[in-house]
Amino acid sequence: MPPTPIPSHTQAEADHAIPQTVLVVDDEPVVRLSLSARLKRLGYHVIEASDGRVGLDLLRRERPDLTILDWMMPGMDGPTFCEQVRQDPELQSSQIILMTGHDQPDQIAEGLARGADDFLSKSASKQEITARVQAGMRTAKLLRTLEQARDEIQRKQEALERELQSAAEYVESLLPLQGHVLPGVRVVHAYRPSLALGGDLFNVVPWGDRLMGLYLLDASGHGVSPALRSASLSTFLRGDSLLHQVGSNDPGVILTEANKRFPLTEDGNYFTIIFARLDLDSHRLSYATAGHGGAFIHRQSGTITRLTQPGLPLGFDITNIYSAAETIIEPGDRLFFLSDGLYEAPSPTGERWGQDRLEEAVHRLGQAPLEDVIPAVIAEAIRWQEQDLFPDDVAVMGLEVDV
Amino acid sequence: MQMTQRTFREAVVLEIADEFTYGGRKDFKAAMEKVQQAGCRHLILNFKHVTFVDSAAIGLLALAAHQFKAGNRTLSLVSPQGTVKQILELANIHKMIPVFPSEDAAAGAKAA
């Protein structure tokens, strides 16, 4: 069979306007010069090193496309050179052909195992050398393309993360300030989104000095879409918006209107929410819920009253009418609104922390300052799940009435 | 989440086991699409062995209820237990999907 024709000497130049570079590392000047001359005739740019250490320096500085390396050299031998390259994150994708005067199978295996990509006998024919160099160059080119694509993805990922961080800061800017929101009413909260952006939001809606609304909403799903939908619902729930678009501060009426405006999405995403109105003159708390279970009052007496009403989440049935229930808030009572991400925290065996354990934790903390209670409860959930990161968004808003 | 499909009288039964959460949404959606494409008129979701449902699962159930109602088909839910039952009750799911104690009762209600 006739030998396969070898491409002309100008192949490398044809592939690239700038010639590809080969680093030749060999302590024998005659071998080095001979190989270099052959490679130059093939159109490659050649740089030379007379030992492994100089070779490594050149590899770092010049980043050649291919390195042809002698096995036996004083100081650092070829396999050791390969090992150092593979351990260096900057160099590890370098293409290396290891060259030796002996081509014993064991030696070839050792060379490959220690980091060489290919093997070349010093007695190889001109055609074989050319073919192996070209094969190495093809691989080097492919790797460079992959590295460029990886770097591009990394750049885009970093840009996306910066955008997400910026969006997360915006979402957090929608949360209420902590402290007194009205004379005699103090709010403390915690917000721990499971990703950069969370789908939980809560806020207070002041209607004068003696009347306020407050809510906590939980968007199903995670990430950008629920966060945007939550921000949209939160905008709807602003005091001025409610005045113009609902014309009532009745929690049932507000949720009935929100239900029409925020239908179940095509992906099955929706909100659960609790909306309450607190009248400081009558101490009446009027509240309506849409499929939301995380709300209770911790009375100063120590008893805990859940504010749970079965109800369709928002958007499940746009004809649904939500109605409000009522209870009394006495001075010293504390109101807790939270998302299910806290009490549904799973233990390593999959058991959920549960509302009972959550309420026991709050009960145990008694009348400790609200600023201590909320972090302590979250810490207890973290101990339960044995990891810091919650799998779902966690939002807790505590409100204490002093008057 | 594990799902097995079988027929019971005139209905298709989709039996779900373990936790039905966000992670199982693709499998559930695919199974729902498959039974609807096969012309199923009555689908029974058997929840006897479901140990937990999260908010994503509730949303998928609501979506399925809308689809079956739009197609004039029947969707039933059977035997939710413990915490799952409580979560479904809190979300008033029975207002969208009738809940039965057994497949027998679900199939009988449809026949009636």
Flag if B55 and A220 touch (Cβ within 8 Å): yes
Q: Check whether A96 has a pLDDT greater than 90.
A: yes
How far is Cα of residue A77 from the mean position of the Cα atoms in its chain? 43
Please give the pLDDT value at position A11. Answer: 52
Pick the CATH number of A11-149 from 3.90.700.10, 3.90.110.10, 3.90.1170.50, 3.40.50.2300: 3.40.50.2300
pLDDT interval class at A198 (50, 70, 90): confident
Pairing of strands A325-328, A118-121: unpaired
* CB nearest to A264's CB, from B62, B89, B90: B62
Those residues with Cβ within 8 angstroms of residue A125's Cβ, 6 or more apart along the chain or in another chain? none
Q: Where are the domains of chain A?
A: 11-149, 174-401
Please give the pLDDT value at position B50. Answer: 96
Please give the pLDDT value at position A329. Answer: 94
Do A200 and A169 contact (CB within 8 A), yes or no? no
CA distance A228 to chain B (A): 17
* A222 contacts on B by Cβ (under 8 Å): 22
* CB nearest to A220's CB, from B56, B87, B90: B56
Of A149-153, A319-323, B1-5, B108-112, which gets the smallest average pLDDT?
Answer: B108-112
Residues A241-254: what's their mean pLDDT?
93
Flag if A268 and B95 touch (Cβ within 8 Å): no
In the structure encoding, which two tokens stand for residue A220, read together?
């199903």
* CB nearest to B58's CB, from A222, A311, A313: A313
The Cα A48–Cα A32 span in angstroms is 7
* B87 contacts on A by Cβ (under 8 Å): 293
The Cα A381–Cα A353 span in angstroms is 7
Of A73-87, A190-204, A238-252, A373-387, which gets the smallest average pLDDT?
Answer: A190-204
Residues A305-325: what's their mean pLDDT?
94
Instruction: Kindly state whether B91 is in contact with chain A, defined as any CB-CB distance less than 8 angstroms.
Output: yes
* CB nearest to A269's CB, from B52, B59, B90: B59
Rg from Cα positions in chain B = 13
DSSP string, A126-166: HHHHHHHHHHHHHHHHHHHHHHHHHHHHHHHHHHHHHHHHH
Angle between helices A105-113 and A78-87 (to 10 degrees): 30
CATH class of A174-401: alpha beta
Please give the pLDDT value at position A102. Answer: 72
- This prediction has a pTM of 0.76
Query: Chains A and B: how many Cβ contacts under 8 Å?
Result: 66
Residues A129-154: what's their mean pLDDT?
93
> Which contacts qualify for A282-285: CB closer than 8 Å, 24 or more apart?
A283/A328, A283/A329, A283/A330, A283/A401, A284/A326, A284/A327, A284/A328, A284/A329, A285/A326, A285/A327, A285/A328, A285/A329, A285/A335
Instruction: Kindly state whether B26 is in contact with chain A, defined as any CB-CB distance less than 8 angstroms.
Output: no
ipTM reported for the complex, 2 dp: 0.88
Mutation to test the A interface, candidates B26, B61, B90, B95, most A Cβ within 10 Å: B90
pLDDT tens digits for range A260-279: 999 999 989 999 999 999 99
The Cα A111–Cα A85 span in angstroms is 13
Flag if B96 and A316 touch (Cβ within 8 Å): yes
* B19 contacts on A by Cβ (under 8 Å): 350
Please give the pLDDT value at position A4. Answer: 45
Flag if A312 and B95 touch (Cβ within 8 Å): yes
H-helix or E-strand spanning residue A288: strand A284-290
CA distance B21 to chain A (A): 11
- Write the CA distances from B90 to A141, A236, A241, B93, integer angstroms: 60, 25, 29, 8
Q: Check whether A314 has a pLDDT greater than 90.
A: yes
Please report which residue ranges of chain B form alpha helices under DSSP H.
25-37, 55-70, 82-90, 103-111
Flag if B55 and A340 touch (Cβ within 8 Å): yes
Q: For A343, name the nearest residue in chain B, comparing CA atoms only.
A: B54
Instruction: Kindly state whether A344 is in contact with chain B, defined as any CB-CB distance less than 8 angstroms.
Output: yes
- Ordered structural domains, chain B, with CATH: 2-111 (3.30.750.24)
pLDDT tens digits for range A5-64: 444 444 554 554 678 999 999 999 999 999 999 999 999 999 999 999 999 999 999 999
Instruction: Kindly state whether A293 is in contact with chain B, defined as any CB-CB distance less than 8 angstroms.
Output: yes
Q: For B95, name the nearest residue in chain A, comparing CA atoms only.
A: A312
